Structure 1
């Protein structure tokens, strides 16, 4: 390696030529000065050019991946925004019908108008639903819902009505339902003078006050059914395409159908089963029945606040995990295998329990291989599921089973959701989900579950089969166990 040090040189170097030096060299024989020696230096390897980095080999794919991820996030962000906007709109309409006098009065009058002219409650009238455009599609869907719930309904296009289809309307018995977000749809305004003024007219619209709606101005006796949205769709999405407005209108219409059906029919589930024989729902409903609660019995399960404490009851064995089976008979806990509290002694060799308490029930459940216990003691008869036993609080263990605060604990057979043993598990699960959806609107409106049957997670499914020449309960299972047994797609 060359060492860097100052260069010492005793020679004189001429840096440039002048006329004087040229003359001196010519006459005195001088020679031109030699060139200065090269200054010692390191090898020039460090001065070689550096190749350009191939940035395109990794920058371009990285940019492409980022752009793809941004595109995905943009899509999902748009979807979440729409869903959140629709959720907000439904929350606002719920608040409206919970507190607004005009909305509540309009809904009550609308239900009354439909019920009074349907079936045995009236003169065999029908509901004529009228709309155009997107409102027309909402009208057609609501007609299908009304008919499935045994409320006679037909769709009428306003333009076709002016060209002969007005004959669909019975001028004595029918009820009219107009759907228009703006409240001033030209086709409906043209039709309005030709509609019999003696027929009840319900208007599903965005207007919350009658004085702002053109249709109500022209026909003051109109029943106003408000379905507003919290902000214009142009503001929400930058376009006035009907989205939240149709969602809200459909929800209010569904609420109207469900509530009216509950008032018209003692068993909405039965008429729905009759009118819906097809598909997975129909397959599950065929041959199945829902046992009504006896007259005067409670339709729900009263749960004392103290029963929420479960810290000391985690030792109760869980219902054994059962792999998915084909039919309910394969999944159910056989009734004859469930120990009965009446026949259980307090200790080996002792007499049967004279007065059963919740603590005795807990011990019986702990000894049961399935976690289920049958009860036929102290005037209390039925079954107790593992989920309900786990709700017992320590303060309740000394209470007798006949104590009113424990009325929620035992499920009598009259409150079972009865399904035939040959019903396929998947079909039964689909039916349970459908019934939950069918009763959800009624529950939100303050109605009780259908005929006292609770389709919640603690609901008991009674598996029915032929016993001694008749049909009887041969097994039970919790509704959540049924739903969990169906493999997710």
Structure 2
């Protein structure tokens, strides 16, 4: 060989690892492309198909009406559809739309008690003939609106729509069966389409319900998501305390006055009136009475953002304290439970302060044990706007990362 010539590097032969790499990437791209096609066709369906369009509009109207009237969305499904349903519930709740998940089997064993007359039901069944849902359907009151998220695009092809003709059909078909796309029937493309349609439903209802109330879906979401990168407002303006507080106007109200009454001591009098000694000292003895129980408050908490309940006299019952009581028949003024927190025990903070600034201040005060307040566990923070208390926040919720 001529020493003046340089040897060009040759491409090494393909190895078994290279072949495996190609197979891995080919499979991944095939799955992604298949699901992308399914989503594109689902978008086209809702742009052109009358049954899909009417079903979506009617679903939005029903859910919005339920939320506005103090009801909720109840999502029901089994298997992978149940998993998708739970994700939908999380999305609806994060944008301020009360939603719960109910398993159809558990529903037949007592969980039907979750339902209220102004709720909307969303059934998720790709096949449209899931036995557990068909068994449950007769036990759902006829006056309640039921939506079926299914692969069917016609009312006459689904068992579940035959069983309940008034049902709202919300189609989520796929362009080819998963057994043909991937050579196995595991729910993949179908669950992707169902989840995407659930997202579309949640965001649309949020716009309908929230816009026009001096707030927007993004503000509601920010208030309901104080934790993580979103809560920290990375790349955006800092989140303020007013954005994460539960506002009084949104809370369920316990129709009882929990303010203290003067302590009455019996004296020697036949009338039972003149003998009563109403203490007028600087620190009078007081007594509080109510028939309300933890169970009563739990019923109200379900309809309140983050589970707060308040009485008409500015006494609040924080959700963490409520959840900690084991006996549902415990009186809410029980000394040991310490459920009711009057405004004299609130720690007032300015709602314009940023969440991060307040967290830093509180953590420093707790660590050093100095300052006018050391913020013990269970502290109720009263959030102020223009020098008026407009909402509350539990200390633990503020400090969590």
TM class by shorter chain equals: 0.5 to 0.7
Cα displacement (A) at 1:115: 0.7
Q: Where do 4+ consecutive residues of structure 1 move more than 4 Å?
A: 419-424
Residue 117 (structure 1) shift = 1.3
Contact 1:179 1:205 survives alignment (8 Å): yes
Deviation digits for residues 182-219 of structure 1 (CA, Å, limit 9, x no counterpart) = 00001001111111110000000000001001000010
- Does residue 167 (structure 1) correspond to residue 113 (structure 2)? The answer is yes
Q: Please tell me whether the aligned partners of residues 231 and 239 of structure 2 are also in contact (alpha carbons under 8 angstroms).
A: no
Residue 73 of structure 2 corresponds to 127
Q: How many angstroms apart in 2 are the aligned matches of 1:177 and 1:423? A: 38
* Counterpart Cα distance in 1 of 2:237 and 2:157: 49
Q: 2:27 aligns with which of 68, 75, 78?
A: 78
Shift of 1:422: 11
Match of 2:203 among 249, 255, 258: 258
Q: 1:422 to 1:246 in 2, by over 3 A?
A: closer
- Tell me the distance in 1 between the aligned counterparts of 2:356 and 2:130: 49
Q: 43, 46, 51: which is aligned to 1:94?
A: 43
> In structure 2, the residue corresponding to 1:154 is in which secondary structure?
strand
Residues 129-149 of structure 1, C-alpha deviations (whole Å, 9 max, x = no match): 000000000000000000001
Secondary structure of 2:127's partner?
Answer: coil
| CA distance in 2: counterparts of 1:288 and 1:140, whole angstroms | 27
1:313-462 to structure 2, matched below 5 A, reads none
Pick the structure with greater CA Rg: 1
Query: Partner of 1:113 in structure 2?
Result: 62
Q: C-alpha distance in 2, partners of 1:276/1:421?
A: 14
Alignment check: 8 A CA contact 1:183 1:215 kept: yes
Structure 1 Cα separation of the partners of residues 238 and 141 of structure 2: 44
Q: What is the match of residue 16 of structure 2?
A: 67
CA distance in 2, matches of 1:232, 1:195: 31
TM-superposed CA distance for 1:421, in Å, is: 11
For residues 63 and 210 of structure 2, the distance between their equivalents in structure 1, rounded to whole angstroms, comes to: 13
Q: What is the correspondence of 1:466-477 to structure 2 with a 5 Å cutoff? A: none
The structural deviation recorded for 1:67 is 1.3
Looking at structure 1, the residues matched to 354 and 66 of structure 2 have their Cα atoms a distance apart, in angstroms, of 40
The alignment's C-alpha RMSD in Å is 2.1
Normalised TM-score (structure 2): 0.55
Once the two structures are TM-superposed, the CA of residue 287 in structure 1 deviates from its matched residue by: 3.7
Secondary structure, in 3 states, of the residue corresponding to 2:222?
Answer: helix
Check whether the contact 2:150–2:169 (CA below 8 A) recurs between aligned residues.
yes
Matched, 1:272 2:221: yes
State the alpha-carbon separation in 1 of the partners of residues 130 and 48 from structure 2.
Answer: 28
Match of residue 483 from structure 1: none
The equivalent of 1:197 in structure 2 is 142
Pairwise mapping of residues 184-223 of structure 1 onto structure 2 (< 5 A)? 184-223=129-168
Q: Show structure 1 runs of 5+ residues with no match.
A: 1-61, 290-418, 425-489
Question: Partners in 1 of 2:195 and 2:47 — Cα distance?
Answer: 18
- Alpha-carbon distance between aligned partners in 2 of 1:242 and 1:421, rounded to the nearest angstrom: 44
Gaps of 5+ in 2: 1-11, 241-351, 358-401
1:138 aligns with 2:87: no
Q: Distance in 1 between matches of 2:192 and 2:161?
A: 23
Instruction: Identify the match of residue 226 of structure 1 among 168, 171, 174.
Output: 171
Q: Alignment partner of 1:129: what SS? A: strand
> TM-score, normalising length from structure 1?
0.45
Deviation at 1:423, TM superposition (A): 8.8
* Cα gap change, 1:242 to 1:422, in 2 (>3 Å): closer
